[in-house]
Amino acid sequence: MNEIRLLLADDHPVVRAGLRAVLETEPGLVVVAEAATAEAAVARAAGGDVDVVLMDLRFGTGMTGAEATAAITARPGAPRVLVVTTYDTDADILPAIQAGATGYLLKDALPEDLAAAVRTAAAGRTTLAPAVADRLLDRMRRPDVAVTRREIEVLALVADGLSNRAIAERLHLTEGTVKSHLARCYTKLGVDSRTAAVAAATDLGLIRR
């Protein structure tokens, strides 16, 4: 049986140690590297000797786990990325899945479920935590609230208090494009103001406050 080589990407040393302890008791799984930042994970994943990256979503500063996932999976012959995190909101799940994550597991998963998810990811198949699968299915059943990733980015900046002009500069868009994104958000969320859009998006878990 070929070994499945793992990279653990998490900014908490205790979490990495815990993952290593669980995974290295499993036959055929070997941890070849650890990364304390998303940037380090991207660099290490390019080494060619990693099959699966276990990726947290939030690091203290710099690149996010979703951004790192996109950077890793964009390369030819890239390792699979299995998100292992404590966060299960749409604002976390959707960017990670859209970035190319093969699976999404929560940190309260049982050790045997974690090991199974790693093997599933290595085989190129998807594993989703039940709560994550439920959220994705719920969104599919509500196409009227299928807010796009860009619209979520705009709403998050509105929530931070930025003007349309400032949002346009931040996202390298025209001010008119930002207004169009907001108009579509209002329609999808059934609201008629910036404040109401932020409140509705927060309630739906699309953005964090």
pLDDT tens readout for residues 114-127:
999 999 999 989 88
Residue 139: what pLDDT? 64
Residue 59: what pLDDT? 92
192 exposed, middle or buried (CB, 10 Å; 0-12, 13-18, 19+)?
Answer: exposed
Residue 202: what pLDDT? 83
Structure-token pair, residue 162: 């930025």
Structure-token pair, residue 196: 């109401």
CA max distance for the chain: 58
75 exposed, middle or buried (CB, 10 Å; 0-12, 13-18, 19+)?
Answer: exposed
Residue 43: what pLDDT? 96
Measuring CA to CA, which residue among 61, 63, 55, 5 is closest to residue 39?
A: 63
- Across the range 94-117, mean pLDDT stands at 90
Q: What structural domains does the chain harbor?
A: 4-139 (3.40.50.2300), 143-203 (1.10.10.10)
22 exposed, middle or buried (CB, 10 Å; 0-12, 13-18, 19+)?
Answer: middle
Token pair 């900046």: residue: 157
- Across the range 170-186, mean pLDDT stands at 91
Q: Using an 8 Å Cβ cutoff, are 31 and 23 in contact?
A: yes
Q: Using an 8 Å Cβ cutoff, are 94 and 149 in contact?
A: yes
User: How large a percentage of the chain has pLDDT more than 90?
Assistant: 60
- Across the range 94-107, mean pLDDT stands at 88
How far is it, in rounded angstroms, from Cα 123 to Cα 2?
12
What confidence tens digit (pLDDT) does each residue in 50-72 have?
Answer: 999 999 998 988 899 999 999 99
Q: How many CB atoms lie within 10 A of CB 79?
A: 25
Measuring CA to CA, which residue among 137, 122, 141, 38 is closest to residue 80?
A: 122
Structure-token pair, residue 188: 């999808």
Helix ranges (H only) for 63-191 are 65-73, 90-98, 111-122, 130-141, 149-159, 164-171, 175-189
Q: How many CB atoms lie within 10 A of CB 144?
A: 9
| pLDDT: which is higher, 144 or 152 | 152
How far is it, in rounded angstroms, from Cα 75 to Cα 73?
5
Per the confidence metrics, is the pTM higher than 0.75? no
Instruction: Please give the mean pLDDT across all residues of the chain.
Output: 89
